[in-house]
Amino acid sequence: MTTDRRVLVHPDKESLAGSVAARFITKVIDILDEFEEAHIVLTGGTMGAAVLAAIRASSASHTIDWSRLHFWWGDERFVPKDDADRNELQAREALLDHVPVVESQVHAFPASDEIADLDEAARVYAAELAAAAPEGALYPRFDIMFLGVGPDGHIASLFPGHDEIRITDATVVPVRNSPKPPPLRLSLTLPVIQSADRIWMVLAGGDKASAIGLALAGASIDEVPVAGAEGRKRTVFFVDREAAAEVPEGLIAPSY
- Which residues of the chain are modeled with pLDDT < 70? 1-3, 255-256
d(CA 178, CA 7): 28
Would you state the pLDDT for residue 252? 84
Element (H, E) at 185: strand 185-188
DSSP state of 153: -
d(CA 103, CA 50): 22
pLDDT in tens, 123-143: 999 999 999 999 999 999 999
pTM above 0.85, yes or no: yes
Would you state the pLDDT for residue 249? 80
Would you state the pLDDT for residue 255? 53
Please, what CATH class does the domain formed by 5-248 belong to? alpha beta
Q: Indicate the SS3 state at residue 58.
A: coil
- 17-23 contacts at long range (C-beta below 8 A, 24 or more positions apart): 17/47, 17/50, 17/51, 17/53, 17/54, 17/202, 18/54, 18/58, 19/238, 20/51, 20/54, 20/200, 20/202, 20/238, 21/51, 21/54, 21/55, 21/57, 21/58, 22/58, 22/60, 23/256
CA distances from 146 to 40, 41, 51, 169 (A): 8, 6, 10, 23
Would you state the pLDDT for residue 1? 45
Would you list the domain boundaries of the chain? 5-248
Report strand pairing: 144-147 vs 75-77: unpaired
